[in-house]
Amino acid sequence: MIGVVRRNGTYEHYGIYVSDTCVVHYAAPASSPLSPATIHCTSLRYFLKDDGDYFILDFPHPYAAPIRIGNEPAAFTANPDGTDRTNAAAHLADVLQRSYGYHLYTPEQTVARARTRLGESRYNLVTNNCEHFVIWCKTGVHESMQVNEMFRLLTNSNGYRFRRPFRW
């Protein structure tokens, strides 16, 4: 996975590096920059645009020591029968779904997964962006750390999503 910082550090753009002539990423086609974003292959030069610097995402070994995943305040409400209902089950289900879905695919598998989505045009900044795409290709988890951070800042909460699964 390759990334580039865009617009003076405003956001990061991600793709799956295949070769200098093919980086698979979610973006508007070069021939029609105002068209909807699709997953397609462009040259590394086009992917970088005017940003000469890029970075590589490094994912940890899948069997690393467990990490604590934030704090979530318990929210209790009453069931009709008078027993307590809490958000803990939903929280646990979300964490387990993400952790059990995490798998480090080989570079060849990652590229193959990226190619299965070529032509897709379901881009959504919050739910299906370039970062969701590359993290899914590498790990099977559909997640964007940039979106998680934005929500954390907007809600002023620590949240309980995975910490960044890669070093910056």
What's the average model confidence in pLDDT over 76-83? 63
User: 51 falls in which pLDDT band (50, 70, 90)?
Assistant: confident
Taking phi over 0 as left and psi of -120 to 50 as alpha, with beta for the rest, 28 belongs to beta
Q: What is the pLDDT of residues 31-49, one digit of tens each?
A: 777 888 999 999 888 898 8
CB 152 within 8 A of CB 160: no
At residue 30, the pLDDT reads 72
CATH of the domain at 141: 3.90.1720.10
Q: Is residue 82 part of a domain?
A: no
Instruction: Name the domain count of the chain.
Output: 1
At residue 68, the pLDDT reads 44
Q: What six digits make up the tokens of 121?
A: 């045009």
Q: Is residue 162 part of a domain?
A: no
Q: Mean pLDDT score of the chain, rounded to an integer?
A: 77
Q: Is residue 75 part of a domain?
A: no
Bigger pLDDT: 88 vs 138: 138
Q: Is residue 163 part of a domain?
A: no
pLDDT at 145 over 80: yes
At residue 74, the pLDDT reads 46
